[in-house]
Structure 1
Amino acid sequence: MNDHNLIHQSMNVPVIDLSLLLSQDSQEKSLVIKEIHEACQKSGIFHVINHGISQEVIEEALEVNRNFFDLPDIMKKDILEFGSGDPFSPVKFATFKQRAHGSDLLQRDVLRINANPIDEFLDLWPKNPADYREKMGRYTQEVRKLGNQLFEAIMESLNLGGATHLQENFGKGMQLVATNCYNSPHQESPSIKKGTPPHTDFGLITILLQTSPGLEILDSFDGKWKSAPKLEEGSFQVFVGDLLEVLSNGKYKSVMHQVIVPSSTTETRMSIASFHSFDMDDIVEPAINLVEEEGVKRYKDCSAKELLKLVFSRGFARPIEALKIEM
């Protein structure tokens, strides 16, 4: 029996109403900041509602990506050639097959695009469907605004609100958007399951949109895999990434997660993950204030690109372990 068979309950994930961040009532705002602090510290994941992104923008992004994945392979050829062999290509389309849960082979199709600054990358995005650039451009820009708002709140939750250079670097930093398509398990060999193996995300924060169940979270308190609860329509999940664990000097922990599409699922599952960080080459280090507060620096300095190289070259499920400083 593998760990996946032990899943029997849903993870308790906090739901945070972001409209209160804009409240004129300072007490209401401080309560939201506290909720974010507790979520980042205890579970590394939270849901956000009333985030300001319209359902229309969300549905258009999902629709145009469904249309892309439904295209014949010949129409994806330019994307395949453009991203071939280069893991840091600004646009890449690939099918991933990875081992997990012993002998399970997990498969998904991924379209990955760089999205900030959008003017630099937009012409490299897929030309088909014809409205892909328009609709995904709108979506990525709206999610970018949400990411800026969340990062500002997270910095306040760490008492780093005065470190404006961090927010400036985040605002002009990296946004990498990966759309994952998990076709129905019945369409291929029963020995191939649809999913993504256990991993943490490399950046500062990830903003995730998903269409159906399948996301599972490793509960750090009891070490058990638990299913993520069903989301309210139009809501997002926010993940603490490895580089936020570094920046917070370990106060916040990146969350281990995976996707296993249930074998009973007949529909195609999709997710759009927006990864946010500083520029790929910018060095992230534990915040000086937090190091001084604890009297110890827990992590080595690292850039997003260096962290991704650890993922690509050594296959770490949790590459941040390589950055921990021995005490």
Structure 2
Amino acid sequence: MAKQPRVLVGQVAAITGGARGIGKETARALVAEGMKVAIGDLDLDVAEATARELARGGSNVRAYRLDVTDRASVRAFIEATERDLGPIGVFDNNAGIMPVGAFLDESDDSTRRQIDINVYGVLNGVKEILPLFVERRRGHLINVASMAGKGGFPGVATYCGTKHFVVGLSESLRGELQYVDSPVEVSCVMPAIVQTELATGLKATRGVKPTTPEDVAEAIVDALKFPRFDVIVPKSAAVANGVLQLLPRRGREGLARALGADKALIEADQGARQGYEVRAAHSDPQLASGDQPAALSGGQD
């Protein structure tokens, strides 16, 4: 007998960094499934515009200003969502940034911003939502990592480190929940390069199917209906990763060179990325109004 999908209609989902890119398309897909969705984003104006677009005249999508680097802001986001929409059943740690460039050229501000958003942003979400899920004995935590959390790619050294953290954290959380026999689910989403503003100017790699935000959103919906931990997008990337892990280091590095993966990020077109980088750098929550960013690096998914 085929396994029956979990019912999503009427459930509440909260998405960090949900105003653009993967977060926005995930919100769209969840609304299409009949869910109520809270969009949290540092850019409230864009979040509200996204909410209006997706709500279709209803009240099933709400927007909130959210700074994931501030645990109190995350707590306020969760409290407002539950007050307005009901108990959260799905929490999607989606917010993230990906500066591109050689590690030796990376500024301290860029390093700090990546760790604040990609690491502490995820931790703050987990620390605030997981106690509620465990107490209620229901809930599904989605942590958006990257295939960069499974390997190392020239041009995004710190980013890779932060995504390795998200993968390791998610694995450990799953183990601890199983240890205490909790029914709370954890999924770790690991996309290849996704065609969002974040990927502007990156070089294509041979043999890798282009991935869209819609592809990632579809995979997340599927993981909610049929819970699983590993959510690799596209599925071909999971096969490729499995093969790579069987090869010795020289073989892995040789294959990466053959596919152009060793140059895809470090040889990015910085001119093409400039608009994205400027907006992203201005998203630093530690900048006071009117301040200028110290460096053009970083951006939200």
Compute the TM-score of the two structures, normalised by the length of structure 2: 0.29
| More helix as a share of residues | 2
Compute the TM-score of the two structures, normalised by the length of structure 1: 0.28
